[in-house]
A and B are shown apart, each in its own frame.
Chain A
Amino acid sequence: MNKAAFYIICAATVVATATLGQSEQYKLGRRATPEEIRELDISVAPDGSGLPKGSGTVSQGQHVYQALCANCHGDRGQGVLQYPALAGGQGTLKSSNPLLTVGSYWPYATTVWDHIHRKMPYARPGTLTPDETYALTAFVLYLNGILDKEAELNETTLPRVKMPNRNGFVPDPRPDIPFKAKSPRQP
């Protein structure tokens, strides 16, 4: 998102938040305890907030990957049938046949960690430990040439990984299609 759009949202939010003041309190709902929040809160932000302590190396990740992921995503992340490719495609985004992968498209490494942790393995989501998730993230980034073979990821280093398409996203410019009331019939 560019800065202008960001500040517009901020400004609008300040106005909106201000009106939250005169709200009616219905005294329903119970207070969430810190333990309850810790148990449910799995969100991870691009700045790394929410990442649990832990670490994993590319080679540890390769091990877990071959056991749990290769069946669907292929042994080198090339994808199998309808299961998406995780690697490749860099340099194809302007072509007529772009390949959108973690390496060619995804702007943040934290998203890779979050998605693996949230949703993978597809049939048994939520079963990976933080260390396994760091290791798998490291291996997938290695498959894309973003990390070298000896790399290790942890809660501090993961948010610092620079993804190739980090600056490839623009804010929504719509409406973007010009309308001519009397345009001739399109062929």
Chain B
Amino acid sequence: MQNQLTRRTFLAGAGLTLGSMQVAVTGFPKELGAPPRPYGERSPFEQSARFLPKSSTPASSYSRTPLQDLFGIITPSALHYEVHHSGVPEIDPRRHEVMIHGLVERPLIFTMDDLHRLPSISNVHFLECAGNSGGEQIGRPAMNPQRSHGLLSCSEWTGVPLRTLLEQVEVKSSAKWIVAEGADAGRMARSIPLEKVLDDVLVAYGQNGEALRPEQGYPVRLIVPGWEGNTNIKWLRRVQVVDQPYMTAYETGHYTDLMPDGTARQFTFVMEAKSVITRPAGGQQLSGPGFYEISGLAWSGRGRITKTEVSTDSARSWQEAQLNEPIHSKALTRFRLPWWWNGKETSLQSRCTDETGYVQPTRDALVAVRGFNATDHYNGIKIWYVHADGKVSHE
């Protein structure tokens, strides 16, 4: 504080001696600024927002994260993407409870206070809707990262491992799955194998240092790291320990992948390794030849990203990009590559590799196997085209 005052005093003095023009350029005000606020808001100059598609069923809808506007790997909670199947319920945490029952020795009901008292962990994980970027698969590339890949966000989640709660109720040996259910109007329910639950599933009440946002499941939700968004049940109310998957509508009629031979893949839980360049990207304008930093995001539901390669010459050659540390497992990873644009037409694309050795496929390689009838779980390489006038577009 002392330093700041001294600096101000110095600058004010400099302004007086160097003339009023200098003051106008540095632009510091002659009136007192605003007082502190109980809950902060961003600068009015910042207008980045979620994209809301038109929907005549407002409660069954989605919003997309403006990936091209974000820095680093954490998505501000207010910009986290949303998918709701029955709207956002308003839940009083003092009246909300989570019941664990089924194939257990002692069915228990936990209040939010109980959950807050249990040993907690915090982990950074991405969430991605199974349908994210599905339009790319069927040959409808979207115009910018928000429209193409914006059903994707990443937060630090805090909560209690579901494993800890299952230890309290003592699971019977016949248990093989759980059914998790939300307290939304449609009582969203999904079956999850017990093996995954005991590995890393979190009963989360914290998001980026504060309570979950209502649209992210306030007061408590499941985080199922690396698995399709729909399994991450929001507004968690009930966990039933069972001996079989319950075949709910969202694991049979939806989120299953119809293949060209007419069979459908079921329980395609993992979101496979994927990446997208967010700058320069579709919808942006390069101001002329010269230096640009290429920046983007890579992620994998199977673990850590180990490598991301970028091509600036329409896939003739690939260069390894730098990955920002720390690299979290099943989390967005920021990659960067310095680039001198020569002013000629080209295309930019990225492909990532995860710790299992899996390499992000091209769209052509993917559709050769999966065809066009199922667009969930698409993870093909995204291409941005740089035009001679500096315009960057999706085609």
Contacts and interface: CB of A to CB of B under 8 A. Distances in A.
A181 B318 CA distance: 11
A177 B361 contact: yes
Given A9-B195, A44-B246, A94-B260, A31 B106 contact: yes
A81 interface: yes
B246 A31 contact: no
A126 B181 CA distance: 14
Interface residues on A, range: 35 or more
Interface in A128-187: 165, 168-179, 181, 183, 185-187
Nearest to B243: A45
A100 B253 contact: yes
B266 A13 contact: no
A96 B195 contact: no
Contacts of B377: 174
Contacts of A186: 315, 362-365
Interface string B61-103: 0000000000000000000000001100000000000011100
Task: Summarize A's interface: helix, strand, loop or mixed.
Answer: loop
Nearest to A169: B266
A14 interface: yes
A173 to B, nearest CB: 7
Contacts of B119: 26
B185 interface: yes
Nearest to B173: A17
A46 B369 CA distance: 31
B6 interface: no
A102 B248 CA distance: 13
Contacts of A36: 99, 109
B107 interface: yes
B52 interface: no
Interface stretch (B212-220, B234-242, B330-338, B387-395): B234-242
Nearest to A179: B359
Contact of B56 (A1, A82, A100, A165): A82
A42 interface: yes
Contact of B99 (A32, A44, A81, A168): A32
Contacts of B272: 174-175
A172 B108 contact: no
Interface string B359-395: 1011111100110110001000000000000000000
B187 interface: yes
Interface residues of B, number: 84
A125 B186 contact: yes
A63 interface: no
B264 interface: yes
B307 interface: no
Interface in B273-319: 314-316
Given A37-B107, A93-B258, A126-B187, A29 B168 contact: yes
Given A111-B253, A179-B359, A185-B316, A16 B167 contact: no
Given A31-B106, A46-B244, A82-B56, A37 B99 contact: yes
A47 interface: yes
Given A13-B176, A32-B99, A177-B369, A106 B252 contact: yes
Contacts of A24: 167
Interface in B45-64: 55-57, 60
Contact of A105 (B106, B111, B253): B253
B118 interface: yes
A89 B154 CA distance: 38
B168 A26 contact: yes
Contacts of A20: 163, 166-167, 170-171, 198
Contacts of B364: 186-187
B365 A177 contact: yes
Given A20-B167, A125-B185, A43 B240 contact: yes
A67 interface: no
A108 interface: yes
A12 interface: yes
Contacts of A29: 100, 108-111, 114, 165, 168
Contact of A31 (B85, B107, B170, B237): B107
Interface in B224-264: 237-238, 240, 242, 244-249, 252-253, 256, 258-264
Nearest to B172: A17
10 contacts: A9-B195, A17-B198, A20-B170, A28-B168, A98-B258, A119-B249, A126-B187, A169-B265, A173-B265, A185-B315
4 nearest A-B pairs in the assembled complex, by CB-CB distance: A23-B167, A29-B108, A94-B262, A32-B107
Given A28-B114, A46-B244, A106-B249, 15 more contacts: A16-B195, A17-B198, A31-B106, A31-B109, A32-B101, A36-B109, A37-B101, A40-B237, A40-B238, A43-B240, A93-B373, A96-B373, A111-B252, A126-B185, A170-B264
